[in-house]
Structure 1
Amino acid sequence: MSKLISYVMFLFVCLNAGLSDGVKLPPNIGRCNLKDPNLNECIGKNIEDAVRKFKDGAPQIGIPPFEPLKISKMVIGEGTGPVNVQQNFENIELSGLTDSKVLKEIVDMEKDKHYCESFSPKLELVGDYDMNGRVLVSRQNWNSGKGKFDIILYNSSLTHNLTMEKYTKKNKTYWRMIDYLVTISPEKMHYQFDNLFDGNYKPGKDALSIR
């Protein structure tokens, strides 16, 4: 997911006038003046607008198509409960990002903090998965599953907390991200994992009974 985070952060930083490190945005992308009393609203509006305008990408500044957004790899580590699984996802395509809406923006220039709330009506991820671990139910363990996956998140509320740091280059001040935390809360989710539990129906049924 780091590639997605990098592109979102790229948009945020570039939309702040004077902070982009030599990158020239296309003329149809809005800018924000740091002295604007409505800076938060300006940044939120322009990020939302830029994500839509970059739907087909902008190769001249290194932005790939956003629909779908291709992510090479994503890893989710093992948990500590009854489901203890390492999840590896590859060749991912994320659709629905350009339909997202920015609901709230708070930029604290003094503390180098950025907080954002957004809403996505539908996000879909498809690709290849490989899981290894154990599900401890009914005294049965399993340790593998590999195949295609399809995950759909409906009506997702997202919060983004970003920590930045300033640095100087050629007597100009820029921002770079040092920490990013995103929380996704979907109203409903749909999962499809081909060959989960190596095609064994029984442990799959037991795992779904875990509360």
Structure 2
Amino acid sequence: MFTLYSFILLSLVYITHSENGFLPPYISPCELSTDKFVDCVKKQIVNSLPKFTKGVPEMGVPSIDPVHLDNIEIDGNGLKLSFSEAAMHGLSKCRLTDLKVDIGKSEETFSLAFKGNLSLVAKYVVDGRILILPIQGKGDALVDAQGVEVKIDSKLVHVKDTSGEHFKLATPKYKYTIEKTTFDLKNLFNGNKQLAETTLQFANENWQQLMDELAPPAIKQIVRTVVKAINKFFSKVPIKQIVIGYKESQ
């Protein structure tokens, strides 16, 4: 009979494996010595991305879809715009567009790029002008950014603990492009439909000006969250368990 004691024992075994390099079933190690190593890593990322972004609780990796953002403040060029209670949705549906892995040398690097449509849901407060048009209001905001591509370039350093050596992304740099953005700001001008429609149409026609101010702090927080999640995963799994044939430093 499967007793409570048996359940607790199995749970402890499972937790022990998790703490000493448990790999989720959708991630397999890659053989370093083959010329298909990068292809193998790419396959693992493509297969695991939708699941990984939803979190790996048994490894302490939190969900990053949505990404909860700090308040974003825009104050310049005659416009004051703030977003609070902001969350960016869509990372789990992004696709990998580029990957470079260089390990086993004196300086190891890791680069990846992903692309998709991201949606920002938040509370907004705005006052000022967008170019020549006045804008004022507060309420719910939805910002849809289409074709967002983010590329992250990072060094790979090693961190040692009792289970061995672990990778860690260090000093990451990033760049991004956005194909188009549309804004939907509810309750502009205290609900004046005609003024709101005219202003939103103008804002969407001139989305680049707004995104020049909005995108940098938002993308920075997204990259920071992604890097933190990857490093959390790395901290739970020794290099030797995800890269077959890797020689740890002495």
TM-score normalised by L of structure 2: 0.55
Distance 1:160 1:145, change over 3 A: farther
Shift of 1:85: 4.1
Higher helix share: 2
Identity %: 18
Summarize the alignment of residues 52-131 of structure 1 with structure 2, pairs less than 5 Å apart: 52-54=50-52, 57-64=55-62, 69-78=65-74, 82=77, 85=80, 87-92=82-87, 94-95=89-90, 97-109=91-103, 110-120=106-116, 122-126=117-121, 128-131=122-125
| Deviation string, structure 1 residues 164-198 (Cα, Å, up to 9, x no partner) | 43222237222223333443323222221223566
Report 1 or 2 for greater relative contact order, CA contacts < 8 Å, sequence distance ≥ 6: 2
Aligned to 1:161: 153
Residues in 2 aligned to 1:166 and 1:197: alpha-carbon distance in whole angstroms: 54
3-state SS of paired residue (1:44): helix
3-state SS of paired residue (2:58): helix
Residues in 2 aligned to 1:183 and 1:32: alpha-carbon distance in whole angstroms: 28
Match of 1:146 among 126, 131, 138: 138
Name stretches of at least 5 consecutive residues in structure 2 with no aligned partner: 1-17, 210-250
1:151/1:189 contact within 8 Å kept = yes
1:197/1:204 contact within 8 Å kept = no
Residues in 2 aligned to 1:123 and 1:137: alpha-carbon distance in whole angstroms: 25
Shift of 1:94: 0.8
TM-score normalised by L of structure 1: 0.64
Letter in 2 for 1:105: L
1:137/1:207 contact within 8 Å kept = no
Residues in 2 aligned to 1:39 and 1:174: alpha-carbon distance in whole angstroms: 18
| Deviation string, structure 1 residues 140-187 (Cα, Å, up to 9, x no partner) | 6x7x75322212222333322223432222372222233334433232
Name stretches of at least 5 consecutive residues in structure 1 with no aligned partner: 1-19
3-state SS of paired residue (2:30): coil
Distance 1:194 1:38, change over 3 A: same
Shift of 1:139: 9.8
Q: Which has the larger radius of gyration?
A: 2
1:138/1:206 contact within 8 Å kept = no
Higher strand share: 1
3-state SS of paired residue (1:24): coil
3-state SS of paired residue (1:25): coil
Residues in 1 aligned to 2:187 and 2:140: alpha-carbon distance in whole angstroms: 8
Aligned to 2:28: 30
